[in-house]
Amino acid sequence: MATGSSNGNVLMLEAAPDPSRPWSAASNAEIIDALPYIDDDYGNPAVKAEVDRLVEEEMRRSSKKPADFLKDLPPLPKFDFKNYPVFAKEYERVRAGKPPGVIDYSRYQLDIPAANKANDEAAWKHAVQRAQCLLQNQVIRLENLELMSKYGPDVWVQHNKRLESMLSSLQKLAREQNEKIEKVNRERKYHQQNTAYELNALSTEWRELCQKNIEIQAACAKLEMDIDEQKKEALEK
């Protein structure tokens, strides 16, 4: 949507209402017909002080609470973790503000049976099985480290290439969007500056007409006074 003068020059560009976002429709908001490229009042400290005073006064008079400004927005989506119990448990923990659970490292410790079980064969078998598990775990870790040393650099190179490609795409998109924004701003500046001459001429004409109206009103008032005086003189005679 665009608003403009009678000669068709665009003064302000406004996006069309999005049907999926009824709360942002133009009918629910005021249209600000600002002309920042030709209005010089924005840099005037006196004007800024007056605007701040009006805003504070409106805030004092308003009956709205901070929460009321969000009531027209759609409700937040509800998260359903019924198929992901681990996520559900972690989500509830974060909502409750509880600290994360501490990792249990006891399973990685190799302890011999207690002194009172020094002659317990079952206890020693359990300790031996645990030692074998920890040994196998260390073997697997060494294998993973060897695989990482052999193939890790190439994997990271490929990963970095993908990241660079994503970065280039995002930078290109950002440049295109900035160019569009710059184009809109250039058009707004061009149309506003071209229309400024017409607005200034109309403003000057309006002031002149107001001055003429004041002069005419003063002349009419003087004529009325003269007529009243003449009527009085005629009655006295």
Q: Which backbone phi and psi does 106 adopt, to 5 degrees? A: -65, -30
Do residues 191 and 9 touch, judged by C-beta distance below 8 A? yes
- Buried-exposed string 60-79: b where 16+ CB fall within 10 A, e elsewhere: eeeeeeeeeeeeeeeeeeee
**176 vs 14, 171, 184, 192, 232, CA distance in Å?**
20, 9, 12, 24, 81
- CA-CA-CA-CA dihedral for 168, 172, 174, 176, to nearest 10: 180
Give me the pLDDT at residue 77, please: 79
Give me the pLDDT at residue 140, please: 94
Structure tokens at 233: 């003189």
Do residues 47 and 41 touch, judged by C-beta distance below 8 A? yes
pLDDT reading at 3 higher than 70: no
Do residues 12 and 30 touch, judged by C-beta distance below 8 A? no
Structure tokens at 186: 């250039």
Give me the pLDDT at residue 22, please: 53
Q: Given CA atoms 38, 40, 42, 48 in this order, what sign does their dihedral have? A: negative
Range from 3-7, 23-27, 136-140, 172-176 carrying the lowest mean pLDDT: 3-7
pTM of the predicted structure, to 2 decimals: 0.44
Helices (H) and strands (E) in the chain, counts: 3, 2
Structure tokens at 205: 């004409």
> What's the pLDDT band for 31 if we cut at 50, 70, 90?
low
CA–CA gap between residue 132 and residue 126 (Å, rounded): 10
Find the mean pLDDT for residues 31-43.
73
Query: Which residue, 52, 48, 32, 31, is CA-closest to 40?
Result: 48
CA–CA gap between residue 161 and residue 150 (Å, rounded): 19
Give me the pLDDT at residue 4, please: 44
Do residues 192 and 11 touch, judged by C-beta distance below 8 A? yes
Do residues 192 and 38 touch, judged by C-beta distance below 8 A? yes
Find the mean pLDDT for residues 101-124.
82
CA–CA gap between residue 101 and residue 71 (Å, rounded): 37
CA–CA gap between residue 73 and residue 155 (Å, rounded): 45
- Provide the strand spans (E) within 139-225: none
Find the mean pLDDT for residues 137-159.
93
